[in-house]
Amino acid sequence: MSKLKFRVEPGGTLRGTLRVPGDKSISHRAIMLGSLSEGVTEVSGFLEGEDSLATLAAFRAMGVPIEGPEHGRVRIEGVGLHGLRAPDRPLDLGNSGTSMRLLAGLLAGQPFDTVLTGDASLSRRPMRRVIEPLTRMGARIEATEAGTAPLKIHGGRKLHGIDYVLPMASAQVKSCVLLAGLYAEGRTCVTEPAPTRDHTERMLAGMGWPIDIAGPKRCLEGGHVLQPCRIDVPADISSAAFFLVGASIAAGSELVLEHVGINPTRTGVIDILRAMGADITLTHAREVGGEPVADLRVRSAPLHGIAIAEELVPLAIDEFPALFVAAACAEGETVLTGAEELRVKESDRIQVMAEGLTALGIEAVPTPDGIRIRGGRLRGGRVDSHGDHRVAMAFAVAALRADGPIEIDDCANVNTSFPGFVELAHAAGLRIRAIS
């Protein structure tokens, strides 16, 4: 991994109209379900970041003809539910936890063995949360003693449906079990303790697979066929979040973010920022391929600290590094609880953000399941992103309110979710450059 760093000069405003890259969650699922459909699926707006490209490479390695990506366009010749072939090597999923957890469900029902590997960060992330329900369905999966990758998934196992109650809100675990259910005998049900992103359910239904949704419970049965379709991937709200925060905290800013996915299971970041006093309006709301999208207009506004409602945590789980920067620029104290999941992301995001904010002069006290941040004056300094793309981008926008330059180490992984971040942010007014 190259030792890429960001240097961001202090101050500036964000202005103009921009479109951030395509939604990573939807891009993953488009490749997976398109590959298993019976015919050609055309995808536009595909995120050409390292995580979703890892999913694409995995399905190519299993014999799926895929053209592209070229300017966000991908053409997938689906091989049907039972047309995947054994790869001739382990599938390296890089930094992508979504790829590994969802693929574990799909591959548990195949007739061949597979091995899933990843980089050092992914190899530390907990996988027992998917191994346990899949084992209950009849799968056989080997992991390390710590329950981490590499995962060896044994093929030729007969899967049966289960009624699974998620111990914690997780879209990845929910999706993993539902995808295994495509191959299972009988009915597979998942009940979640709080709403999580529902892109899997929406795309399955859009491709003709019957799925029953009743409150927190979603059920499906094996034995159906996935129909190919056209998928227009909206801009990723998780990537838009850095600009929503940046324009909120930098005086004189006004930005329009175009064609952003506003799936109600993903809009916690907007709700939290508005509760803090942010000026965000939605315009041109519409539906594209079963997913709601809108243009987001954000103007600078004075923010104040809040106690973040725990029911919003799963709806904003990926956006908290950016929200912690908003809290650092708000008047008063912001308190987050019920977010222990942040400790097992690409980094321990609670600890890493607390250390970085403290280095920049902000009072940030981590707790087992959250953090307390008292807004104050950001000073310049040097922080370590620990290879976490969202941490790196969060500290970059923090420079808009800092009184000196901020240097951020270990930023190469920004390409996993937001290729072109530096160029787009610079064009909008952030005084950022990358140094290798």
Model confidence at 160: pLDDT above 60: yes
Percent above pLDDT 90 for the chain: 97
pLDDT class of 1 with cuts at 50, 70, 90: very low
What class has domain 5-22+234-435?
Answer: alpha beta
- Mean pLDDT of all residues belonging to the chain: 96
* Contact criterion met (CB below 8 Å) for 308 and 327: no
Model confidence at 295: pLDDT above 90: yes
Model confidence at 2: pLDDT above 80: no
Residue 318 is a catalytic residue: yes
Q: Which of 5, 13, 7 is nearest to 401 (CA)?
A: 13
Q: What is the pLDDT of residue 290?
A: 82
Return contacts of 103-106, CB within 8 angstroms, 24+ apart: 103/32, 103/55, 103/58, 104/130, 104/131, 104/134, 104/141, 104/151, 104/153, 104/176, 105/130, 105/134, 105/175, 105/176, 105/177, 105/178, 105/179, 105/180, 106/32, 106/36, 106/179, 106/180, 106/182, 106/183
Per-residue model confidence as pLDDT tens digits over 296-318: 999 999 999 999 999 999 999 99
Residue 384 and residue 374: Cα distance in Å, rounded?
21
pLDDT class of 399 with cuts at 50, 70, 90: very high
Model confidence at 12: pLDDT above 50: yes
For the segment 259-265, the average pLDDT, to the nearest whole number, is: 96
CA Rg value for the chain: 21
This prediction's pTM: 0.93
Of the candidates 23, 119, 236, 318, the residue annotated as catalytic is 318
Per-residue model confidence as pLDDT tens digits over 99-115: 999 999 999 999 999 99
Per-residue model confidence as pLDDT tens digits over 126-138: 999 999 999 999 9
Model confidence at 331: pLDDT above 80: yes
Q: What is the pLDDT of residue 373?
A: 98
Residues of the chain with CATH 3.65.10.10: 5-22+234-435, 24-220
Query: What is the per-residue DSSP string for 107-148?
Result: HTTSSS-EEEE--TTGGGS--HHHHHHHHHTT-EEE--TTS-
Per-residue model confidence as pLDDT tens digits over 352-378: 999 999 999 999 999 999 999 999 999
Q: What is the pLDDT of residue 3?
A: 85
Residue 342 and residue 349: Cα distance in Å, rounded?
5
Model confidence at 425: pLDDT above 50: yes
Q: What is the pLDDT of residue 339?
A: 94
Residues written for the chain:
436
24-220 is classed CATH 3.65.10.10: yes
Per-residue model confidence as pLDDT tens digits over 190-241: 999 999 999 999 999 999 999 999 999 999 999 999 999 999 999 999 999 9
Q: What is the pLDDT of residue 289?
A: 78
